[in-house]
């Protein structure tokens, strides 16, 4: 069955990837935690995703604001101020998230379908990880579950590092859309990355 143009575009956005520096925390999780996470998402939105939801809405309203600005520049400026106030409120609500205080940024290869990074732990293929990401510059927080799909020794000697690729198996739809938009923006800022990424492992 052939894909529609919209479906093909979604697939391209899902697998597009970029090198980036983000705050990253991960830990090994049990299958039971994945089930609990699915049930929790059905009942309530995770407060840590508030920033990501607002950032995604800002992306959606960006084109609308451009159109309004051409017709009603004063109204457009007022709406931009409101947008900044909402962003500030979201950051204040999520300010108690200690992850951003405990962990420094980490160099990763990121897409809407997974993430690759270096770790001292040689996780086995199929291991389930809980991955928490904080994306610059909005500090949007995204939580996902993923399985290790490749692990490659990266440095010889001690300590020994491994490059692992994690394929997301549970990620809320709005967070996946936000990741896709984040990757597109980073690729637009650093277009020369495309050639270098051809040498990277796919996520």
- At a CB cut-off of 8 Å and minimum separation 6, what does 79 contact? 61, 65, 68
- The pLDDT-based confidence of 44 (bands split at 50, 70, 90) is very low
Residue 50 has pLDDT above 70, yes or no: no
Report yes or no on whether pTM surpasses 0.85. Answer: no
Q: 53: closest CA among 169, 140, 181? A: 140
Record the tokens describing residue 157, joined without a space. Answer: 């000697």
Q: What are the pLDDT digits (tens) for 97-123?
A: 544 545 668 899 999 999 999 998 889
Q: What distance in Å separates the CA atoms of residue 139 and residue 95, rounded to the nearest whole number? A: 10
- At a CB cut-off of 8 Å and minimum separation 6, what does 104 contact? 23
The ranges assigned to domains in the chain are 16-197
Q: 133: closest CA among 162, 167, 106, 164? A: 106
Query: What is the per-residue pLDDT for 72?
Result: 86
Q: Average the pLDDT over each of 83-87, 92-96, 123-127, 148-152 and give the range with the smallest value.
A: 92-96
* Average pLDDT of the residues of the chain: 75
């Amino acid at each position: 069955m052939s894909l529609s143009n919209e479906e093909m575009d979604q697939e391209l956005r899902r697998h597009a990837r970029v090198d980036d520096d983000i705050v990253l925390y991960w830990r090994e999780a049990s299958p039971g935690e994945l089930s609990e996470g699915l049930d929790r998402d059905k009942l309530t939105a995770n407060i840590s995703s508030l920033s990501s939801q607002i950032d995604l809405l800002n992306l959606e309203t960006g084109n609308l604001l451009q159109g309004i600005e051409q017709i009603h520049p004063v109204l457009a400026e007022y709406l931009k101020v409101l947008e900044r106030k909402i962003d500030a409120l979201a950051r204040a609500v999520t300010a108690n998230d200690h992850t951003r205080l405990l962990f420094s940024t980490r160099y990763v290869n990121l897409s809407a379908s997974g993430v690759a990074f270096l770790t001292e732990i040689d996780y086995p293929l199929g291991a389930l990880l809980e991955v928490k990401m904080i994306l610059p510059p909005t500090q949007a927080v995204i939580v996902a579950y993923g399985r290790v799909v490749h692990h490659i020794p990266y440095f010889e000697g001690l300590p020994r590092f491994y490059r692992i690729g994690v394929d997301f198996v549970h990620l809320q739809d709005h967070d996946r859309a936000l990741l896709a938009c984040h990757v597109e923006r980073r690729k637009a800022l650093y277009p020369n990355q495309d050639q270098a990424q051809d040498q990277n492992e796919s996520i």
